[in-house]
Chains A and B, each alone.
Chain A
Amino acid sequence: MTSHLLWITPLVPFAAALLMLLVRSRRALAAMDVAISLAVLALTVAIARQVQVHGAVSALGVFRADGLAVVFLLLVGLLSVAVSVATVGWMRHEVGRGQMREDRLHWYFALVHAFVATMLVTVLSDNLGILWIAMEGTTITSALLVGFHGDKHGLEAAWKYIIVTTIGISFGLFGTVLIYGAAAHAQGGVLTGAMNWSSISAIAHRLDPGIIRIGFIFVIVGYGTKAGLAPVHMWLPDAHSQAPTPVSALLSGALIKCALFAIIRFHSIALQACGPEFSSGLLLAFGLVSVVVATPFIIVQHDLKRLLGYHSVEHVGIIALGLGFGGPLGTYGALLHVVNHGVTKALVFLVAGDGIGRYGTRDMRRMKGFLGLAPIAGTLLLMGAFSLAGTPPFSIFVSELIVVRAGIAGGRFVPVAIFLAMVVIIFAGLIHHVGQMAFGSAGEGAERGREALTPLLAMFLLAAVMVLLGLWIPVRLDEVLSAATGVAGG
């Protein structure tokens, strides 16, 4: 079935971005920001409904939404609303502190919406070339946001980010070209839609396994760079720590998941072309390396936002592990983890932004007594940290448990053992760091102002989802995830 919503949805934030360049008032910009994000969320929900009723929908021959796309689409929609709401209060505070220049605000808001628009195109594209173009578009827009403050560190992080991820995903383009070549060869000529995932995946079992293997290696290294899989994650802690906080939340919560989405699309092709061993094995290896590499950096970290950045490397690793263990269980767990980690990490970044605003530093050794300064945000910080560390009854515990069960069911005992050992170490490290920050009494320099309504509202929204998904998975979401698991080849 065709659905015009597929191209309207990314067009809305893109048009809004252009419009915002003409607006100068902070209040008007913030109001537009929230309104557009709400519209995007409504559109993504509408697409999800269509997919649920009609199955996969497509538009213009290059866009497609199926169960898999819906999972990522809803995540992007939800996070863009939460981040927009949080930005209202955050921005007022930043402008007040002189961290943001009022005459450049329209650029900030426009870039954020262009960034969201490119992410939406990424997850909605059927054509693998468009997927790549949109992915590079996310880099271009978000690199400017990472370096938005214009200080030395921000620019260094922005440079590292754009240069590493651009060369990284050019590997992804090369992999795309090879797989497209294999598909065109198998069809005996270029047919319409030869670059579409749906048509390549329909003939995937006939593709030459040799070239798909080479192609998939380029794809996983390429999009893996963007997803933050170790050992090609070098840009991630820098960019996540230096970006303005709402942008950090989007980078960590949504963007790296979009890169994983691309990997899953290619993974499902490779599964059929080369058998279950090859691409799953690679995902397993990258996932395990990511979890192991992130652990020591989490333990010794004192910079709050860098800590969260390395933590994203770990969680992307867990998602890759789930996909690598494979089967319906592993894939389902991985996709649930995409949602859980996206929501929780965005929450913790927003809380972190509040803390950084109060203390004027990101060094956790100098951020004591956060609970006393901001009781509500402090409580949410503790909840978020326990969830990130994988404690029940929060949502991440559930998806990690599913991933572990998939590993055990598949007889992968060594990776599961290594994974569990790392999770225990990270638990200790994370709770130590966050405990240090939450308790004790705050120093003289810290800001003791009342907690602003808007970041709190956004935090409540995310925390509600986090707690809810820890207790029970709604039937609707379960249906979406099961459909996505089917598409991903689980």
Chain B
Amino acid sequence: MSVELATRLIDILGGLLLFTMLLILAAGQLFRAIYAVAAQAVFLGIAGAVLAAATGNVDLWIIAGITIVAKAVLLPWLLMVVVNRVHISREIESVMPASLTLILAAGIVVLAFHLNASLGPVRQAITGNALPVGVTLILIGVLVMASRRKALVQMVGLFASENGIFFTAMAVSQGMPLIIEIGVILDVVLGALVMGILVLRVRSSVDTDIADLEDLRG
């Protein structure tokens, strides 16, 4: 695969990642947000495969496979298990008006691309627009987490943020070493497991959403 083709494909996949991010941001139903983050992880896996074909780096094939298994199958499945176990309301309420959320999201996109344009020759080290797309995903993920008071949506925001990091990391000079990627994904899965345990424990003892607890202040 030629470098030009790979760059174009990465930019298209970057566009799809941004699109799924907007779906997460706009989702009014919990399961839609979970499907969107799963779709995002699939695109991320495809991006890994494209970069593997372009650079001839075998490690990236493995990383692409692990990404799809862990982030597109395992984590959404874990979220679904928790949703079904706790019978929470499936509606997502935002603590800020939709218009403000969208303005902030647009601001993040502009900022990220502006930041990218300010960089010098080092930009060559990163394929296509992977850097601004990564920054955008991370920051919109934080926006999702900050504007929703529901534990599972906050987890979705976190996973989407992490997808942004993985996307940039793959596109940076042939990706991070395989062993590091595996360690990072292991941490992500273990972290998600612990979060799931906490959500379930709160449900079983006080029957509220853990993100709704706010007794600790001052």
Q: Chain A: residues with CB nearer than 8 A to chain B?
A: 127, 129-130, 132-133, 136-137, 139-140, 143-144, 147, 150-153, 155-160, 162-163, 166-167, 170-171, 173-174, 177-178, 180-182, 184-185, 189-190, 195, 208, 210-211, 214, 237-238, 241-242, 297, 300-301, 306
Q: CA separation between A242 and B190, bound complex, in Å?
A: 22
Asked if A167 meets B142 with Cβ closer than 8 Å, knowing A132-B184, A140-B194, the reply is yes
Q: CA separation between A184 and B120, bound complex, in Å?
A: 15
Contacting A177 at CB < 8 Å: which of B119, B176, B205, B218? B176
Contacting B191 at CB < 8 Å: which of A136, A173, A182? A136
* Residues on the B chain within 8 Å of A160, using CB: 216
Q: CA separation between A136 and B190, bound complex, in Å?
A: 10
Q: Does A167 contact B118, Cβ atoms closer than 8 Å?
A: no
Interface stretch among B33-41, B72-80, B82-90, B164-172? B164-172
Interface stretch among B19-27, B42-50, B95-103, B206-214? B206-214
Asked if A210 meets B120 with Cβ closer than 8 Å, knowing A153-B215, A159-B213, A177-B165, the reply is yes
Q: Does B141 contact A157, Cβ atoms closer than 8 Å?
A: no
Q: Does B173 contact A181, Cβ atoms closer than 8 Å?
A: yes
> For chain B residues 109-166, which have a beta carbon within 8 Å of chain A?
115, 118-122, 124-126, 131, 134-135, 138, 141-142, 145, 151, 154-155, 157-158, 161-162, 164-165
Counting CB contacts under 8 A, is B67 at the interface?
Answer: no
* Residues on the A chain within 8 Å of B184, using CB: 129, 132-133, 136, 173
* Residues on the B chain within 8 Å of A184, using CB: 125, 172-174
Asked if A130 meets B119 with Cβ closer than 8 Å, knowing A150-B205, A155-B201, A171-B138, the reply is no
Q: Does A147 contact B154, Cβ atoms closer than 8 Å?
A: no
Q: CA separation between A241 and B215, bound complex, in Å?
A: 13
Chain B residue at minimum C-beta to C-beta distance from A186: B122
Q: Does B172 contact A177, Cβ atoms closer than 8 Å?
A: yes
Q: Does B180 contact A130, Cβ atoms closer than 8 Å?
A: yes
Contacting A162 at CB < 8 Å: which of B120, B124, B198? B198
B interface majority secondary structure: helix
* Residues on the B chain within 8 Å of A136, using CB: 184, 187, 191
* Residues on the A chain within 8 Å of B28, using CB: none
Counting CB contacts under 8 A, is B195 at the interface?
Answer: yes
6 residue pairs, one from A and one from B, having the closest CB atoms: A129-B180, A185-B125, A181-B172, A208-B122, A184-B173, A156-B213
- Fill in one digit per residue for B196-207: 1 if any A CB lies within 8 Å of its CB, else 0: 011101100110
Chain B residue at minimum C-beta to C-beta distance from A237: B216
Q: CA separation between A170 and B158, bound complex, in Å?
A: 9
Asked if A300 meets B172 with Cβ closer than 8 Å, knowing A163-B154, A184-B125, A208-B121, the reply is no
* Residues on the B chain within 8 Å of A147, using CB: 198, 201
Interface size on B, residues (CB 8 A): 55
Contacting B118 at CB < 8 Å: which of A139, A180, A195, A210? A210
Contacting B198 at CB < 8 Å: which of A158, A167, A170, A242? A158
* Residues on the A chain within 8 Å of B174, using CB: 184, 190
Q: How many A-B residue pairs have CB under 8 A?
A: 146
Complex A-B: 15 CB contacts under 8 Å: A129-B177, A144-B194, A155-B205, A156-B213, A163-B145, A163-B211, A167-B145, A173-B169, A174-B134, A177-B165, A177-B169, A181-B122, A184-B172, A211-B122, A241-B216
Chain A residue at minimum C-beta to C-beta distance from B216: A238
Within the complex, what minimum Cβ distance (angstroms) separates B135 from chain A? Answer: 8
* Residues on the A chain within 8 Å of B172, using CB: 177-178, 180-181, 184
Q: Does A159 contact B151, Cβ atoms closer than 8 Å?
A: yes
Q: Does B216 contact A185, Cβ atoms closer than 8 Å?
A: no
* Residues on the B chain within 8 Å of A144, using CB: 194, 197
Q: CA separation between A150 and B205, bound complex, in Å?
A: 9
Asked if A190 meets B183 with Cβ closer than 8 Å, knowing A162-B194, A167-B142, A182-B122, the reply is no
Q: Does A159 contact B176, Cβ atoms closer than 8 Å?
A: no
* Residues on the A chain within 8 Å of B154, using CB: 163
Q: CA separation between A143 and B199, bound complex, in Å?
A: 13
Asked if A157 meets B125 with Cβ closer than 8 Å, knowing A133-B184, A170-B162, the reply is no
Q: CA separation between A177 and B191, bound complex, in Å?
A: 20
Q: CA separation between A301 and B216, bound complex, in Å?
A: 12
Chain A residue at minimum C-beta to C-beta distance from B212: A156
Q: Does B173 contact A210, Cβ atoms closer than 8 Å?
A: no
Q: Does A163 contact B165, Cβ atoms closer than 8 Å?
A: no
Chain A residue at minimum C-beta to C-beta distance from B195: A162
Q: CA separation between A140 and B174, bound complex, in Å?
A: 29
Q: CA separation between A162 and B131, bound complex, in Å?
A: 26
Q: Does B198 contact A189, Cβ atoms closer than 8 Å?
A: no
Tell which of B119, B121, B135, B155 has the most Cβ of chain A within 10 Å.
B119
Q: Does A170 contact B161, Cβ atoms closer than 8 Å?
A: yes
Contacting B202 at CB < 8 Å: which of A133, A152, A170? A152
* Residues on the B chain within 8 Å of A127, using CB: 180
* Residues on the A chain within 8 Å of B135, using CB: 174
Q: Does A166 contact B158, Cβ atoms closer than 8 Å?
A: yes
Q: Does B176 contact A140, Cβ atoms closer than 8 Å?
A: no
Q: Does B180 contact A208, Cβ atoms closer than 8 Å?
A: no
Known: A155-B210, A167-B158, A214-B119. 5 other contacts (CB 8 A): A129-B176, A136-B191, A167-B145, A170-B158, A180-B176
* Residues on the B chain within 8 Å of A132, using CB: 184
* Residues on the A chain within 8 Å of B194, using CB: 140, 143-144, 162
Asked if A167 meets B161 with Cβ closer than 8 Å, knowing A155-B213, A182-B125, A190-B174, the reply is yes
Q: CA separation between A157 and B157, bound complex, in Å?
A: 20
Q: Does A133 contact B173, Cβ atoms closer than 8 Å?
A: no
Contacting B168 at CB < 8 Å: which of A143, A177, A297? A177
Q: Does B165 contact A174, Cβ atoms closer than 8 Å?
A: yes
* Residues on the A chain within 8 Å of B168, using CB: 174, 177-178
* Residues on the B chain within 8 Å of A130, using CB: 180, 183
Chain B residue at minimum C-beta to C-beta distance from A160: B216
Contacting B195 at CB < 8 Å: which of A129, A163, A214, A306? A163
Q: CA separation between A237 and B216, bound complex, in Å?
A: 9
* Residues on the A chain within 8 Å of B216, using CB: 153, 156-157, 160, 237-238, 241-242
Q: CA separation between A297 and B206, bound complex, in Å?
A: 29
* Residues on the B chain within 8 Å of A185, using CB: 122, 124-125, 173
